[in-house]
Structure formats: C-alpha cells, structure tokens
Amino acid sequence: MAKNVVIVGTQWGDEGKGKVVDWLTDTARGVVRFQGGHNAGHTLVIGGRKQVLRLIPSGILRDDVHCYIGSGVVVSPAALLQEIDEVEAAGIQVRGRLHLSEAATLILPYHVALDQAREAKRGTGAIGTTGRGIGPAYEDRAARRALRTGDLLDAARFRAQLDETLELHNFTLKHFLNAQPLDAQRVADDTLALAERIAPMLADVPSMLAASMARGEPLLFEGAQGALLDVDHGTYPFVTSSNCVAGAAAAGAGVGPQALHAVLGIVKAYTTRVGAGPFPTELHDEVGRHLATVGKEFGSVTGRPRRCGWFDAPALARSIQLNGVSGLVVTKLDVLDGLPVVKLCTAYRHGARTLDMLPFGADAVAHCEPVYEEMPGWSESTVGVRDWSALPVNAQRYLERLAELARAPISLVSTGPDRDETIVLRHPFA
Ligand code: IMP
C-alpha cells in the first residue's frame, strides 16, 4: 500500500495536476506544495463551480484535509492572502487548515519589478515568464539574501535585511534595467502590514509532516509546473527557476526520500507549452487550433494562449526517467475526439541521428525533428466516460500505444474536469 504519493507534471506544465490531486484527496489526509509559487495555477471544477488555486494546495477543498506550503516554495504574502480571501469567499474554510513553512522564501514587489524589467530587456529573446517574480526570488534564496516567511515576525530584522537586499536590486533596476527603483520604507510598511494575517499560519512544516506520517496518514506531494521546465533537467534556459521533478518533493517539503512511495506522472493526451522555448511537436495548423480551442488552452494564471502539438514520446521518456514515474494519469483525452487521424511522435531526427529521448538544453531540442506514427481517430465522445470498456476502441488503442511508448502503466484516465469523470485502471494508493 503506497502511503505517500508525489504528483508531477511530465510535460511543460498545465497537465491537469490539480484535478488529480483533488481526486486523490478522497484518500489522502494532507497535501503538500514543495516548489514553485503563484506562477502555478490549477483550475478545479467542483460540482460545476470553477476555482483557481495558485499557491494553496488543491486539498483545501476537502474539509478534513490539511494543506502545507513547504520551505521550497516561494511565497508572495499579498498573493497568498488574496487567494485565501477568494477561497474563503467561496465558503471554504482555509484558516486552521493551511500551514506555511516559516522557512519559505518571500516574493516581494522588487522581485516582480526585476522579473518584468529583465524580460523587457531581453526583447525577442524573452523567456516568457509569468512575471510573478519567481526567478528573482529563487536567486535571492540561493544568494542567501532572501527574506523568509519567518522574518515577518521580527520587524527590525526584516527591515535590516530588506535594506541590504534592496540596495542591490535598486542599483540593478536603475542602472542596468532602466526601471524604477522601489522605496524600502514602503515595501516594509506594505509587507509588515500583512504579517498579522500570515503569522498564525506559520509552522514547522517538516515536524508537522513527520507527526502526520507517524499517525499513518497518507500524504500527497503536489508538484507545480512540469519536469521539462525543471531548472536543471528541462529545456534550459526556457525553464522555471525551481526543480519540478519528483525528487524535489523530499527537499522542498522537508521529508526523507524514503517517505515518497509512489510517483504519479500526469500527461496530457497531446502536448502544450506556454511561454517561449523549443517545442518539437508544436502545430501551427488546423489541428493545433482544434487542440487550443477544444482544450481551452489558455493559461489559468496569465490567460496567455498555450502553444499546442501532438503527443511527444521522447519528451515523456525523459520525464519518466527523471521522475521515476510509477503510474501515468492521462488527461484531456476528449480533446482528441473527432479528429480523423491522431499522431504520436515516437522519436526525433537530430542531424544524422535518431533519438528516443529528449536531449538537454534548448539548442539541442530546437534541432529535433519529430518522427510521427499515425493512428485512426475516433468520432465518439469520450467526455465523462468512467469505464475503460466504454471508451471507443480506437481511443483504447491510442492510450495503449501511448503507455507502450512511455514504458509506464496508466493508472488513471481523466475524461473531464469534474472529479467523477475519471477511469481508474490501478488506484495510485494501491
Ligand atoms: P516563471 O516560472 O514565471 O519564471 O516562468 C518561466 C517559464 O515557465 C515560462 O515559460 C512560463 O510560461 C513557464 N511556467 C511557469 N509556471 C508555469 C505553469 O504553472 N504552467 C505552465 N508553464 C509555466
């Protein structure tokens, strides 16, 4: 019996992790975010009602589930409080159930200013970040000049560190990025004004997780973004600034790796990417428009249109290798309904070589030409199907081929955004 399950995106994010986490909270007693920040966005549909979560773990929608934000997450206090207000306005009790590590790095207004000014300076070479300050906040953490959630409790200490950090960033903003510097007093006043509401949530998250595990409670570790956006293993430099692979769950949450029993890799039945960077199977034709329109492929955080393409087996193979995926969850199968032919990229041509694994770095990926296999599509709707046997035969064959190429078993197939629209082949906790 797997007790603790890590859920990760296996592509470039937006695979539908939120719904899967929500579905699994029938069994789990705690949900933990371990990396990323409010660049992530999960749109959940519960009983027909839409709810977007950016920082709060998806388990918050279940009364009896505790939610944790680990030390590896970068937290904008303003964004977190706004999200709590939205969720509480929808009638969901957050306070008392959301525990925020006192060692998480803060995203402050100068991180946002730096992120946006740098992107503007990069011009056509921009990464296409979400502009939320994620990269600059992680830089401060690595440079050991970050302000952390626990620093909100000590105004004098907060102010002293802020002055030191902001002196550097204001120099960069003014003299390198040609942008407006920020006023330290204003940043301190605005941020410390939020401290009173943040303080009750601060916790020793690793100790709470250890206590929960000692009680035998199953936990879910909810990844943000996707493995191909991982800062070390993804299509660098077109990546986010954290490790998004399953191994990061242990480091970012503060548990030992032996506490992670299974890894669920979420994969869309096709591929999307938002922001810049190489994307071998990207489509610029009618099919690409079909995927974007039917799949409603617009970012849940920034509203940007997502780039769309066919399923990419070499990219998934890399992801499975990086994450040690024990089971796959295929999402958005229904978006392929009605296409006369469906294609799967089985390999890349890279110069004179054929590759069955995504290479490292953006330049190498940019030179990959997809090799496709075609399969007949299906005209029947798969929306809301709950039994494998009720899927059209060609949809079953497509999924079987996908799993064969991935060399990983399918645990679940998601056939719609609602909790119940799920086919269970192997229960992830089994
Ligand atoms: P950042 O994380 O805002 O620095 O953005 C870096 C890259 O990661 C950009 O291409 C973003 O579009 C992408 N990205 C960040 N978060 C997400 C996400 O949750 N889903 C999909 N792409 C993301």
**Distance in Å, CA 241 to ligand 1 centroid:** 9
Which atom number of ligand 1 is nearest to the Cα of residue 115?
Answer: 4
Residue with tokens 């978006």: 335
The pLDDT of 351-369, averaged and rounded, is 94
Q: DSSP label at 236?
A: T
Q: Are strands 271-273 and 410-414 parallel, antiparallel or unpaired?
A: unpaired
The pLDDT of 250-276, averaged and rounded, is 97
Cβ of 14 below 6 Å from ligand 1: yes
**Distance in Å, CA 276 to ligand 1 centroid:** 9
Q: Percent of the chain, pLDDT > 90? A: 87
238/246 Cα distance (integer angstroms): 20
Full DSSP string of 105-169: EEP-HHHHHHHHHHHHHHGGG-----SSSHHHHHHHHHTT---BGGGGG-HHHHHHHHHHHHHHH
Yes or no: say if 348 and 280 are a contact pair by the CB < 8 Å rule.
yes
Give every CB contact of residue 224 below 8 A, 6+ residues apart in sequence: 9, 13, 17, 33, 35, 36, 37, 39, 40, 244
Q: What are the tens digits of pLDDT across the range 167-214?
A: 999 999 999 999 999 999 999 999 999 999 999 999 999 999 999 999
The pLDDT of 218-233, averaged and rounded, is 97
pLDDT band at 138 (very low <50, low <70, confident <90, very high): very high
Residue with tokens 């024990």: 326
Cβ of 134 below 6 Å from ligand 1: yes
Q: Which two tokens stand for residue 165?
A: 């950090």
pLDDT of residue 46: 59
pLDDT band at 48 (very low <50, low <70, confident <90, very high): low
Q: What are the tens digits of pLDDT across the range 140-152?
A: 999 999 999 999 9
191/200 Cα distance (integer angstroms): 16
Active site residues per annotation: 14, 42
The pLDDT of 282-289, averaged and rounded, is 96
pLDDT at 401 over 80: yes
Residue with tokens 């990417």: 273
Cβ of 227 below 6 Å from ligand 1: no
pLDDT of residue 220: 97
Q: What are the tens digits of pLDDT across the range 80-127?
A: 999 999 888 888 899 999 999 999 999 999 999 999 999 999 999 999
Total residues belonging to the chain: 430
Q: Are strands 422-424 and 410-414 parallel, antiparallel or unpaired?
A: antiparallel
CA distances from 225 to 35, 56, 139, 188, 203 (A): 9, 14, 18, 30, 25
The pLDDT of 57-69, averaged and rounded, is 93
Cβ of 148 below 6 Å from ligand 1: no
| CA 382 to chain centroid | 26
Q: What are the tens digits of pLDDT across the range 3-21?
A: 999 999 999 999 999 889 9
